[in-house]
Amino acid sequence: MSDFKLEFAARAYGKVNLHLGVGEARDDGYHELATVFQAVDRPETVTLRVNGETDRVLAGSVVESMSTTFHVNEPDEDIDGPNNLAWRAVDAVVERYRDRAKRHAVDLPRVRLFVDKTIFVAGGMAGGSADAAAALIAANEYLEYWTSTSLTDDDNAEIASSLGADVPFCLMGGTALGRGRGDKLAPMMARGTYWWAFVSQKEGLSTGRVFEYLDELRHNDPALVPRLDTTAIARALVSGEPATVAGVLHNDLQPAAVKLHPNLRNTLHEARLQGVLRAIVSGSGPTVAILCENEEHARKTVDALTSTVAYEGFAARGPAPAAHSLTAAT
């Protein structure tokens, strides 16, 4: 029994904002958004592992430990703890099951959580949200195996939204319009394939601080009005032409991100020197998303920009699919 091992694994993908319009701050502290997401095929993989004669618990967290393998620069802080979105997603699934089952809930085996990370940490590409989305799927499979029950789609959607505004999109994948905090989603038609080069520097940016600074800048610059109309990007995506899409890419947060992280201005300039279709800040930064003509152009752009120690980068293609299970059928 000590050699027994059971795993539940799932994968979700990072994102780029093709359009990010930021409205006024709401009473709940969030900003009203009009954003167009596109998933890119840079994966985050989450595995829940039950080993040997592990303890079983009827209350509290089922997560015994967490370990992340980094294929990008490792952050200075330890992210493998209960505040990690993947850990929280597993706990949220289990707590929702216990709430539904009440006194009929069964004790569940402890799990070890493993994350294979290929998306920049705190880079504006929803790496943590992708971890949460993958963990939600894996945790539901774990729950179904041990209890013969799983959560409803509505339960999972509610949990995803509670974990973070980008988590619902990381579950959905593809290309979508996001309203509200970005978590009210509607799929969008998107023809064609889009090749991106993504580059980042180790120094991150706080998403909350970028939003706050945008508010400050708008007090003194009437030109920084919210751009909440997504008609132009919707039409461009129907064309299926990367050059047409490049012409209407937009990010309201870019001015704030560039002022908070001045090196971004240099990164954007260096990207344009590679003859790319367009370079913009991805989300709240500090990643720069560079739309290229094709795969070869994207990979050459990454090679050129990462030839110094200043940047790390990768090429990725969009749109990518929804989050999905990797667990072999039994």
Q: What is the mean pLDDT of residues 57-85?
A: 94
Q: pLDDT for 43-56, tens place per residue?
A: 999 999 998 777 89
306 band by pLDDT with thresholds 50, 70 and 90:
very high
Q: CATH 3.30.230.10 occupies which residues in the chain?
A: 5-186
- CA-derived radius of gyration, the chain: 20
- Average pLDDT over the chain reads 93
DSSP 181-202: TTTEEEE----S-EEEEEEE-S
Backbone angles phi, psi at 37, to 5 degrees: -90, 145
pLDDT value at 126 more than 80: yes
Looking at residue 229, its pLDDT comes to 96
Name the residue type at position 81.
Answer: G
Could you tell me the pTM of the whole model? 0.94
Max Cα distance, the chain (Å): 68
| Fold of the 194-318 domain | Alpha-Beta Plaits (3.30.70)
Looking at residue 28, its pLDDT comes to 83
330 band by pLDDT with thresholds 50, 70 and 90:
very low
pLDDT value at 71 more than 70: yes
139 band by pLDDT with thresholds 50, 70 and 90:
very high
Looking at residue 317, its pLDDT comes to 98
pLDDT value at 323 more than 70: yes
Residue tagged active-site, from 166, 183, 202, 252: 166
pLDDT value at 2 more than 70: no
Residue 281, H or E segment: strand 278-281
4-8, 65-69, 173-177, 277-281: segment of lowest average pLDDT: 4-8
Residue tagged active-site, from 15, 91, 117, 131: 15
More confident residue, 36 or 308: 36
Q: CATH 3.30.70.890 occupies which residues in the chain?
A: 194-318
Q: pLDDT for 82-109, tens place per residue?
A: 999 999 999 999 999 999 999 899 999 9
Query: Phi-psi region for residue 213, left (φ > 0), alpha (ψ -120 to 50) or beta?
Result: alpha
Active site residue 15: yes
Structure tokens at 91: 């706990």
| Fold of the 5-186 domain | Ribosomal Protein S5; domain 2 (3.30.230)
